[in-house]
Amino acid sequence: MSGRRLLAALGIWLLLGGSVLLVSAIALRALAPGFAPRHAPDLVAGLMWLFYLSLLAALYLSFGGWRGLSGALGFHWTGLQDVALAEVVWIMALISGALLTSLGERYLGPPQSNALPLVRISLDPVFVALLVPLVALVGPAAEEMLFRGALLGWLRSVVPLPLAVVLSAAVFAGAHLIVPLLPLLFVFGLAAAYIYQRTGSTLNSFVMHATQNSLALIAAYLVLFRH
């Protein structure tokens, strides 16, 4: 894995995302000046889609199209047995991560849902229809190809594999900017890296990630509806 391709992907991501955001803002202001105040939640969801679609586009361009996503970033099918393994490992990671998060509560603060603030933004059907597939599917796919496929793929070529796994998991956890959940996210990063190394596929670690995000969404909506 070339570090240049990783840097290129990050650069294209920033450039593409910033350009689309600027053009969209100018177009909305010129063509529909009253849209933003009336549809603020939908704009938030739209910005999140822009964030992840720009990342997917950057990875696609930097790693050689669909063949690069499948080959260099490992997003390909390897069998039901690997999917089952991924889910078993995810359950183990969830339990151990939750335990560590509980033990670290004194120092990092009480655990908090990373999905609840999102679902609280709005129960508007359009917002929900935009949010759910993004958080449950698109985001996990983009993040797995970035953190496991690209980042871990590069790190393991420049440092010993155990250190590469730890570093990639630490970057993954820190990138979410939720201090109380750092232990949970770090353990998940380790588990996802293990599955990627074991199966050679970020599609399998994506299944873990999608399951975790879907569970978080379901739990957040249950909490919201109870209140």
Other beta carbons within 10 angstroms of residue 40's beta carbon come to 13
**Main-chain dihedrals φ then ψ at residue 114, nearest 5 degrees:** -85, -10
Give the residue among 168, 163, 156 at the shortest CA–CA distance from 192: 168
Q: What pLDDT, on a 0 to 100 scale, did the predictor assign at position 30?
A: 77
3-31 and 40-62 helices cross at what angle (nearest 10)?
150
- 106, part of any domain: yes
28: its two tokens = 């909305």
Q: What is the DSSP string of 136-168?
A: IIIHHHHHIIIIIIIIIHHHTTTS-HHHHHHHH
Q: Is a pLDDT exceeding 70 seen at residue 222?
A: yes
- Give per-residue burial for 93-124: e unless 16+ CB within 10 Å, then b: bbebbeeebeebeeeeeebebbbeebbeebee
CA distance 165 to 156: 8
Span 173-193, pLDDT tens digits: 999 989 999 999 999 999 999
Give the residue among 220, 52, 42 at the shortest CA–CA distance from 144: 52
Three-state DSSP at 97 gives helix
- 88, part of any domain: yes
**What is the distance between the terminal CA atoms of the chain, rounded to a whole angstrom?**
48
- 36, part of any domain: no
- 59, part of any domain: no
Span 198-213, pLDDT tens digits: 999 999 999 999 999 9
What is the count of structural domains for the chain? 1
**Main-chain dihedrals φ then ψ at residue 73, nearest 5 degrees:** -100, 0
CA distance 105 to 117: 20
Q: What pLDDT, on a 0 to 100 scale, did the predictor assign at position 114?
A: 87
Q: Is a pLDDT exceeding 90 seen at residue 35?
A: no
- State the pTM of this model: 0.94
Domain with 113 in it: 65-226
- 104, part of any domain: yes
- What letter does residue 112 receive in the DSSP assignment? -
Q: Is a pLDDT exceeding 90 seen at residue 197?
A: yes
- 7, part of any domain: no
Q: What is the DSSP string of 123-141?
A: --HHHHHHHHHIIIIIHHH
- 130, part of any domain: yes
Q: What angle do CA 196, 73, 206 make, to 5 degrees?
A: 50
Quickly tell me which residue has 């990092």 as its tokens: 108
- 99, part of any domain: yes
Is the separation of the CB atoms in 104 and 187 below 8 Å? no
